[in-house]
Amino acid sequence: MNNKELISNVASKMNLPKNEVKYLLEAFTETFRNQLKEDNSIGFQGFGSFEIRKKEERLSVHPLTKVRTMIPPKLVVSFKQSSVLKDKLNVKF
């Protein structure tokens, strides 16, 4: 699902104009990014939580040339699903 599809789905479910939903989504994602930039975790009850984690510097080896390079440390977003979401996704068929 891309942004347009998400906006359309939410607009139809909420009976709102698409431009209002687009503005709401932009405000939500901006707030989300700002909170993660400030190293705050974000949690949604029944869905999961997002947090920033630091990946340490590591050695990488190219499989064909065997050239070794160091990959610098970086920050990544980590998601941990809630048990409610996990149970809903793993329903026995």
Q: What is the mean pLDDT of residues 8-18?
A: 95
Other Cβ atoms closer than 10 A to 7: 20
Q: What is the spatial distance between Cα 8 and Cα 84, in angstroms, rounded to a whole number?
A: 26
Q: What is the spatial distance between Cα 74 and Cα 56, in angstroms, rounded to a whole number?
A: 7
Q: What is the mean pLDDT of residues 76-93?
A: 90
Mean pLDDT of the chain: 94
What is the reported pLDDT for 93?
A: 59
What is this structure's pTM?
0.75
Other Cβ atoms closer than 10 A to 37: 10
pLDDT digits (tens, 9 = 90+) for 24-49: 999 999 999 999 999 999 999 999 99
Question: Which of the 8 DSSP states describes residue 75?
Answer: E
pLDDT at 73 over 70: yes
Q: What is the mean pLDDT of residues 5-19?
A: 95
